[in-house]
Structure 1
Amino acid sequence: MFGDLMGMMGKLKETQQKIEETKKRLDTVLIDEQSSDGLLKVTLTANRTVKAVTVDDALLEDKEQLEDYLVLVFNKAIAKATAVNEAELAAVAQDGMPNIPGMDFLK
């Protein structure tokens, strides 16, 4: 029994390390998003850190339009980055889950 418990603890520790490695790797995964007309472009990491924003000069003439574009494009980029982040971390966590009787509903 204690051997099983020690094995599970080791597997959980290994999984935690893999999760941390995955989080670091997600800092290098870039998500690009742009407005439908290409006037605004943003780049985020899969950990949702802004890396770049490119604004066409045409948007600088209309503050309200620029604000609307920023909200729309950032929300789309954040949604994509979140999906990538959650999928990657879930895959690592799922792979590292110890086989605990009665907990198979998580799969």
Structure 2
Amino acid sequence: MVSRRRLKSFLTGLALYMMAAGMVGYFGVNAYTGKYGLNARQELDQEIIALTAELARLKKERSEGEQRVSLLRSDRLDPDMLDERARFQLDYANPHDLVRMTAPN
């Protein structure tokens, strides 16, 4: 009788420790590999770096575009820019221009 009670208390304690170890293991694995874990943080940092570089490139591209558009405004029209845009839209080339033909990809 005493040995059964002792065995039951030992097995109950062992089961509780096993459940606690399982929970700690589960949360430990998720802390490393989960959606918000350490690996995900590293991937997010790399994505932040890539997107920051792309943002800088797009800002530069936009400022260049704004500068080109400002040259076409009516209050300060640049004749060279007007000539370039007219030739591009009309597919016109001056006989003295050097034209290089490339094959489409």
Richer in helix (by share) = 2
TM-score normalised over the length of structure 2: 0.31
TM-score normalised over the length of structure 1: 0.31
Q: Which has the higher contact order (CA 8 A, sep 6+)?
A: 1
Richer in strand (by share) = 1
Return the index of the structure with the highest Cα Rg: 2
